[in-house]
Amino acid sequence: MNNLFQKKILLIICGGVSAYKSLELIRLLKKQGVEVKTILTKSAKEFVTPLSVTSLSQGKVYDDLFNAENEAEMNHISLSRWADVILVVPATANTISKLSAGSSDDLASTVILASDKDVFLTPAMNVRMWEHPSTRENLKKLKSFGYKIIGPEIGDMACGEFGEGKITEPDNIVQEINSYFNKLHKNYKLKALVTAGPTNEYIDPVRFITNKSSGKQGHALAKAFAKKGFQTTLISGPTNLEVGSNIKLIKVETADEMFKATQDNLPTDVAIFSAAVADFKVKEINSSKIKKTGKLNLELEKNIDILNYVSKHNSLRPKLVIGFAAETNNVEKNAKKKLEEKNCDWIIANDVSNKAIGFHSNFNEVSIYYRDKNMHDEKLGIKSKSEISDEIVDRVIKKLN
């Protein structure tokens, strides 16, 4: 089945002997009805010409970050947003090293760094370069960032040696990309809801009660769902995080606002409640600022428990309800207790006393506890929050399908 028809692929061609195979790749993609835009790195032009690339792609070739014509027509941010996926062919040892370091010294690396889409790398290099510890470490790092790797294969190389490092053949690359879109297509009918960030419960016009949360894990989850084809709604408390254009973002501030937004956007197939909702709110909010005159006594009342409410109301309940448990001690005991009390399907718990994976870190380490006794509880070791999110969403897809 052709899942590539009318897809938009940004092909980045880097400088390596196997760059010539990008021409065959363009031909195969165009044959499948793909719209292709290309970026040629400076070194790639030593192996293939802009004229040959544009003749096959039937589109403009971009090559210079500091080019007034390019920026006027489509700047590097727009180019990264235009594509459904980005494909790097060949991904040389130098390219892999640059990307792992977050370098953005040319158009290709800048577009990749600015992209909110999946990036596929097709490594190609000498077998010794492929096996070098620095290459292995860089690839491991890129995988933790969410990059997808195609190949390489084992075979004869242009240098005369034999081994792993040969670029994947163009028709196999096309099959991999087609398979990727096929999986997305299966998920298009699925809806996901994610809550993220803190809530603010006002005492007076300038003061509020809140919970510590950056919203990074929840936002990463929403991006992972959207990338994998879900119709995704993100209900977020106050954060400074950017959201992809393919996510329905609803900004809220209080627990009551988050609860109403949740009700308005149910039912869904899956809901993940990762927000750090304040447990209490002030019974009566002062209309003017409270002056510092001795002691301040606040009368508090409980906020609605959004996770508990959704889990126990069949008319709203998604097929899969997942809660988060941010714990500082007895993580497993407290998480399993929450799993039972809240009637969740899964609880994802992490130890926020560990500063390396705390609220504002870009990394996390979580344990997943399942209500279904046929599923075994598991731990996801320290990874970037985006990689943690990808693994969680992969498990959700497997469960829903």
Reading the block at residue 180, the tokens are 């990727």
Strands 231-236 and 247-251: parallel
Nearest C-alpha neighbor of 65 from the set 107, 10, 11: 107
DSSP string for residues in 132-193: SHHHHHHHHHHHHHT-EE---EEEE-TTS-EEEEEPPPHHHHHHHHHHHHHHHHHHTT-EEE
Instruction: Give yes or no for a contact between 371 and 346, defined as CB atoms under 8 angstroms apart.
Output: yes
Cα pseudo-dihedral 161, 166, 169, 175, rounded to 10:
150
Catalytic residues: 159
- Interhelix angle 133-145/93-100, rounded to 10 degrees, is 50
DSSP 234-273: EEE-S------TTEEEEE--SHHHHHHHHHHT---SEEEE
Rounded distance, CA 201 to CA 284, Å?
11
- Residue 188: which residues within 8 A CB-CB, separation 6 or more? 229, 231
- In the chain, helix, strand, coil percent, each to 5? 35, 25, 35
> Encoding tokens for residue 277?
């909702």
Three-state secondary structure call for residue 36? strand
The partner residues of 369 in beta bridges, in order of sequence, read 347
The closest of 69, 40, 41, 35 to 52, measured between CA atoms, is 40
H and E: helices and strands count for the chain: 14, 20
- Do the Cβ atoms of 228 and 220 come closer than 8 Å? no
